[in-house]
Amino acid sequence: MTSLLILNGPNLNLLGQRQPEVYGATTLADIERLCEAKAKALGLAIEFAQSNDEAVMIDLIHKARGRHDGIILNAGAYTHTSIALMDAISSVALPVIELHLSNIHAREDFRHTSYIAKVALGVICGFGASGYPMAIEALNEALK
């Protein structure tokens, strides 16, 4: 069975309370339920994770090798800063979809740079929580 890691980075544990005008009212637990439903409909297995710690995220990416077929990554602000996360993705050689709730290109200039995009299969941003099931569908298609 195809298996996907859905990995969320810093501050995404506060979704629903955090800047709802930017990120919406949906909580991370709601998003996990959306992902479970989408995965079930497509016959996929998923592991859903969140960490505020860059090192923990790197370890989860390393552990995905041999356990998962692809990764959906909302790296939060580490998207714009972390060469280490970019290198972790290159190291495991799994297909990655970069995901953001907000349209990072319509926001501050510092959000226009993404280290993740340089090694990602594709990028989905600006569709709020709906981006997660979109990314699951896109990655599933890419893995066929």
Is the CB of 26 or the CB of 140 nearer to ligand DQA?
Answer: 26
Rounded to an integer, what distance in angstroms lies between the CA atom of residue 69 and that of residue 71?
Answer: 7
Active site residue 78: no
Length of the chain: 144
Token pair in block for residue 60: 């989860």
Q: Which of 23, 78, 115, 132 is catalytic?
A: 23
Residues that bind ligand DQA (CB under 6 A): 11, 74, 76-77, 79, 100-102, 104, 111
* Distance of closest approach, residue 78 Cβ to ligand DQA, in angstroms: 8
Q: Which of 62, 68, 80, 100 is catalytic?
A: 100
Is the CB of 70 or the CB of 76 nearer to ligand DQA?
Answer: 76
Active site residue 62: no
